[in-house]
Amino acid sequence: MRQGLGLILGVGMVLGALGAGAAWVTREAAPPPAPAPTMTVADALGDPALALEGYARALGPRTFHFPEDHGPHPDFRTEWWYWTGHLATADGHGFGYQFTLFRTALAPGAPQGSSAWSARQIYMGHLTLSDLATGRFHAFERFSRSALGLAGARAEPFRVWLEDWSAEAVGEGTPPLRLTARRGDIALSLVLEPGKPPVLQGDRGLSQKGARPGQASYYYSLTRMPTHGQVTVEGRAYDVTGESWMDREWSTSSLGREQVGWDWFSLQLSDGSELMYYQLRHRDGTVDPFTAGTYVPARGEPVHLTREDVRLEVKGTWKSPRSAVEYPARWRLEVPAQGLALDVVPALADQELPVSVRYWEGAVGLTGTHGGAPVKGQGYVELTGYGDTPLRER
């Protein structure tokens, strides 16, 4: 569920409501200091305060078409293009990164309007860099309307952009992709090769999040993308190589009233396999039955996982010095049918994003066994809904 931040797209609707007739176009925020979150996960994806009639819904499995489905799906309320990865220099200076571009519609079938400033879509971007050598975490947020070409998305040739933050096709076809983003003295310029073919999450790409019709997304992943390029930190450019993970989701779905957030894992193992798992959490701390995941073998077909297939135990916690929110900080994750037993540990404790919808997302390392043989690896974990009180309960 990477939706992993799809939830934040609800913020775009708030911006649309507040700024639809205003002259401002963009907003940026970079911590510190940490602002109070504008909205919680439950507000953004909960039972909607704004009507969703008129949007397309994820009601059943569909046929995916590439490269077309790398592009936008404007009939749906929200979608996101999501990249995370681990990179290193030749001498071992390691980095983790997250680069995400979100789109949300202002209204179903909203007309463009006669003004050049009018827009049908709001875009939001998140950029983070975990400098694993220095222990520093950098996080930035940006918003823009699609007016005047400031933000947008297209399928062919593929490009999605938010001002000078962009992901676009390199040459013919999609991918390879080039990711470009800069904020002050932090920058990414990376090329991502396709690696393994797309993995359709859930039921042939339909990722069901609840029992109601349409409470679902269309969701696919590219789970291991060879990556090379440059990372710039405090003005110094580093040549890096590594591996990335791409998630794509679009939906008009929402969390149920009892669902407060999720813990999401994308893990790349040293034996060439990958694991995606998201655990949906209820307000009372219980795990939602629509929790799910996918095991991707080094060779062969992906295996769908249910809540009953995975054991997840929190082994430690970390309390944010900014928000005072306590997050899980170490995990034991087991998939018995696949012979997986993994210990997952954050590469840095503090990888909290103090942005419009506060959440923790960061680089992790892992060790353990697979089929009885030692294995290690890397990945990303996303934690949403911790410490939140929805607007309707305040």
The pLDDT tens digits of the residues spanning 186-211 come to: 999 999 999 999 999 999 999 999 88
The whole-angstrom distance between residue 376's C-alpha and the CA centroid of its chain comes to 23
Q: Are 196 and 245 in contact (CB under 8 A)?
A: no
Report pLDDT for 112. 58
Residue 390 CA to residue 307 CA, distance in Å, equals 26
Q: pTM of this prediction?
A: 0.89
Percent of the chain with pLDDT over 90: 71
Report pLDDT for 22. 27
The whole-angstrom distance between residue 2's C-alpha and the CA centroid of its chain comes to 4
| Average model confidence (pLDDT) across the chain | 86
Token pair in block for residue 81? 């293009």
pLDDT above 60 for 391? no
How many domains are there within the chain? 1
Report pLDDT for 108. 81
**Partners of 280 in the beta sheet?**
262
The whole-angstrom distance between residue 250's C-alpha and the CA centroid of its chain comes to 12
Q: Pick the residue with more confidence: 118 or 131?
A: 131
Report pLDDT for 178. 97
Greatest CA separation for the chain: 65
Residue 190 CA to residue 231 CA, distance in Å, equals 8
The pLDDT tens digits of the residues spanning 225-256 come to: 999 999 999 889 999 999 999 999 999 876 67
Label residue 7 by pLDDT band (50, 70, 90).
very low
Residue 162 CA to residue 12 CA, distance in Å, equals 13
pLDDT above 70 for 93? yes
Label residue 130 by pLDDT band (50, 70, 90).
very high
Domain residue limits at 226? 3-393
Token pair in block for residue 109? 């079938």
The closest alpha carbon to 98, from 35, 14, 8, 216, belongs to 8
Residues 6+ apart with CB under 8 A from 157: 168, 169, 174
Label residue 110 by pLDDT band (50, 70, 90).
low
Report pLDDT for 387. 85
Residues 6+ apart with CB under 8 A from 199: 220, 221, 222, 223, 276, 294, 296, 302
Q: Are 141 and 124 in contact (CB under 8 A)?
A: yes
pLDDT above 50 for 95? yes
Residue 59 CA to residue 61 CA, distance in Å, equals 7
Which CATH number does the domain housing residue 147 bear?
A: 2.40.370.10
Report pLDDT for 33. 46
Report pLDDT for 90. 98
The pLDDT tens digits of the residues spanning 327-375 come to: 999 999 999 999 999 999 999 999 999 898 899 999 999 999 999 999 9
3-class DSSP state of 224: strand
